[in-house]
Amino acid sequence: MERIEEHACHGGRQQVWKHASETLSCEMRLGVYLPPQTERAACAVLYWLSGLTCTEQNFITKAGAQRYAAEHGLILVAPDTSPRGPGVADAEGYDIGLGAGFYVDATQSPWSLQYRMHEYVTQELPALVETFFPTTQTRSISGHSMGGHGALVAALRNPGRYRSVSAFSPIVAPSQVPWGQKAFTQYLGSDTAAWKEWDTVELVRDASERLPLLIDQGEADEFLDPQLRPDLLRRACADAGHPLHLRMRAGYDHSYYFIASFIGEHIAHHAAALRG
Ligand SMILES: N[C@@H](CCC(=O)N[C@@H](CS)C(=O)NCC(=O)O)C(=O)O
């Protein structure tokens, strides 16, 4: 691990680190916010997964989350959204390849060599973070859009690993929407049976842990239909009896201005779960 940025922020430190990832076979960057409480005690960690086109920078520079993390004593960890660097597979378009890992473990060539973002985020990253930083080894997870999908799938596929999960404007039914269908065809192949284990609407049907889903969705989001489709999640959760707190927010779009407006409420939600 090598520290490449450090800035004082709300009494704590916003850092950027780089490390050689074994899972992804490349060098990865991550944002780490250490609240002031880490000078005296171990703190719980909130993982944040960003959306399409993002790096580790978008969340740490735009969401304004550090103020709330400092208030509640939470460490924030924000990884990149795909493997990066020379030789990493890519394709035309912002919604596939670099910046668009979709937090799945790809099975199809050429992606399967390095596009293993689910394993990276749920296994390698927590092990690394819990070795290098003063954590209580308790975790929660959140994210935006493609990263909201990643956070929901990470929690649903790994019962017991996260104390709470939330998302902003998540892609909840990737098997049924254009962004997901394009990415899953490339990363997982054309047999749609294999897509189900990476799809929130499918996973809630028989989740073994009924961890409540907290979701904020802007009503003026330019991707609401056809990409995000919160209506499909509402129906799936009602059918399965899965607890869902979906808040439609009038006037808000898909941007980080929306996230900045409600990130304080999400951090308070995670802090309460992590304390309990
Ligand atoms: N139409 C957009 C789609 C990408 C997009 O909206 N990305 C969202 C996540 S899905 C984002 O967070 N963008 C970066 C930012 O706003 O900082 C583009 O072509 O860049």
Helix (H, G, I), strand (E, B) or coil at 57: helix
CB-ligand 1 contact for 94 (6 Å cutoff) = yes
Rg (CA), the chain: 17
Q: Which atom of ligand 1 is nearest to the CA of 254?
A: 6
CB-ligand 1 contact for 52 (6 Å cutoff) = yes
Indicate if the pLDDT at residue 50 is higher than 90: yes
Q: Which two tokens stand for residue 70?
A: 């400092």
Mutation pick for ligand 1 pocket among 50, 52, 253, 258 (CB with most ligand atoms within 8 Å): 52
How many whole angstroms separate alpha carbon 122 and alpha carbon 268?
22
List alpha helices for 39-163, DSSP H: 57-62, 66-72, 117-119, 125-132, 146-157
Q: Are 83 and 26 in contact (CB under 8 A)?
A: yes
CB-ligand 1 contact for 258 (6 Å cutoff) = no
Q: What is the mean pLDDT of residues 83-109?
A: 98
Q: Which pLDDT does position 187 carry in this prediction?
A: 98
Indicate if the pLDDT at residue 65 is higher than 90: yes
Contacts within 8 Å (CB) and 24+ apart, 225-229? 226/177, 226/178, 227/171, 227/177, 227/178, 227/179, 228/145, 228/169, 228/170, 228/171, 228/172, 228/177, 229/172, 229/173, 229/176, 229/177
Q: Which pLDDT does position 239 carry in this prediction?
A: 98
Q: Which two tokens stand for residue 109?
A: 């060539």
Percent of the chain with pLDDT over 90: 100
Grade residue 276 by pLDDT with cuts at 50, 70 and 90.
confident
Phi, psi of 206 (to 5 degrees): -130, 50
Residue 221 known to be catalytic: yes
Q: Which of 72, 118, 254, 266 is catalytic?
A: 254
Indicate if the pLDDT at residue 200 is higher than 80: yes
One-letter amino acid for residue 135 of the chain: T
Indicate if the pLDDT at residue 111 is higher than 90: yes
How many whole angstroms separate alpha carbon 202 and alpha carbon 193?
11
Q: Which two tokens stand for residue 254?
A: 């898909």
CB-ligand 1 contact for 169 (6 Å cutoff) = no
**Residue of 209, 49, 32 lying closest to 130 (CA atoms):** 32
Q: Which of 105, 199, 216, 221 is catalytic?
A: 221
- Residue 56: in which H helix or E strand, if any? none
Grade residue 108 by pLDDT with cuts at 50, 70 and 90.
very high
How many whole angstroms separate alpha carbon 259 and alpha carbon 76?
15
pTM of the predicted structure, to 2 decimals: 0.98
Indicate if the pLDDT at residue 110 is higher than 90: yes
Q: Which pLDDT does position 19 carry in this prediction?
A: 98
Residue nearest atom 19 of ligand 1, based on CA coordinates: 94
Residue 254 known to be catalytic: yes
